[in-house]
Amino acid sequence: MGNIRIRDMEIGRGNPLVFIGGPCVIERESHLLLVGKQIKTITDELKIPFILKTSFDKANRTSVHSYRGPGLEEGLAILKRVKAKLKVPVLCDIHEPAQADRAAAVVDILQIPAFLCRQTDLVTAAAETGKPVNVKKGQFLSPADMKNVIEKIELCNNQQAMLTERGTMLGYNNLVVDMRSLVIMRSFGCPVVFDATHSVQLPGGQGQSTGGQREFVAPLARAAAATGIDALFMEVHDDPEKALCDGPNMIDLETLPALLDQVKAIDKARRK
């Protein structure tokens, strides 16, 4: 395992910090384009490499009544058009092995959700596409356990794995971040990502939906940059209070420039 190259971008040791951001799920094509365009403007000004993230389906919602997204067919068609207009790499998650090849034809990085990170058939299906695979560490796993996930990807002749820290369960409806996890997972030789917005979730904390503590996103992002990461992952929305999914933990576009500027400065100081 080693650094990952996507177009003219390289993720991993010795390379600039990458920002992976976007809305939790596709709400409308026009909305994804709006948010993606504004993030691109911000990251271009700050000279931070940018990968757009979103989802065509959120299959692991708290309630059957929760919004899931447009689905595979429509979602991938939207992603293809938005990617072409913005000219940026795109990341999205998959939930079933059968989705891997379809998604890989459109997106640049396939993501394995935290709840599904031990599903061997899903991980290997993603790896067999030859695309980079970003695996979110399960809320129930130790960082050392992720070495087994890397082995599954390597056995598919794919050396392009990324690991993402997104918090660990602390009792019911709560998560805590152990920064040691970033150090441990980086020792495996693959790029490590910190998901600052999912790390402040309160899973199922609102009864029929997940809550969140948005006020802790910035301090955790700064701490992760100081500890050492290769990419920062955050869900971003132009109006989080009205978001159809994960609103309580998403950050507002207005706050993004200042936070990314801080994180970039911390990362630069750490590298010295």
Q: Which of 125, 109, 127, 117 is nearest to 166 (CA)?
A: 117
Q: Which of 71, 98, 92, 103 is nearest to 136 (CA)?
A: 92
End-to-end CA distance of the chain: 25
Query: What dotted CATH number matches 4-271?
Result: 3.20.20.70
Confidence at 189, pLDDT banded by 50, 70, 90: very high
Q: What is the pLDDT of residues 232-244, one digit of tens each?
A: 999 999 999 988 8
Q: What is the pLDDT of residues 16-37, one digit of tens each?
A: 999 999 999 999 999 999 999 9
Q: What is the reported pLDDT for 233?
A: 98
Does the pLDDT value for residue 39 go beyond 90? yes
Q: What is the pLDDT of residues 58-80, one digit of tens each?
A: 887 677 877 888 999 999 999 99
Q: What is the reported pLDDT for 173?
A: 86
Q: CB–CB of 210/182 below 8 Å?
A: no
Please compute, for residue 169, the number of CA atoms within 13 A of its CA located in the half-sphere on the CB side: 12
Question: CA geometry: angle at 111 spanning 107 and 116, to 5°?
Answer: 145
CB atoms within 10 A of CB 107: 27
Q: What is the pLDDT of residues 203-224, one digit of tens each?
A: 765 555 567 788 999 999 999 9
Domain borders along the chain are 4-271
Q: Which of 125, 135, 116, 117 is nearest to 60 (CA)?
A: 116
Q: What is the reported pLDDT for 112?
A: 98
Q: What is the reported pLDDT for 206?
A: 58
CA–CA dist 265, 272 (Å, integer): 11
Lowest mean pLDDT among 44-48, 141-145, 197-201: 197-201
Q: What is the reported pLDDT for 209?
A: 53
Q: What is the pLDDT of residues 125-149, one digit of tens each?
A: 999 999 999 999 999 999 999 999 9
CA–CA dist 93, 110 (Å, integer): 6
Q: What is the reported pLDDT for 210?
A: 67
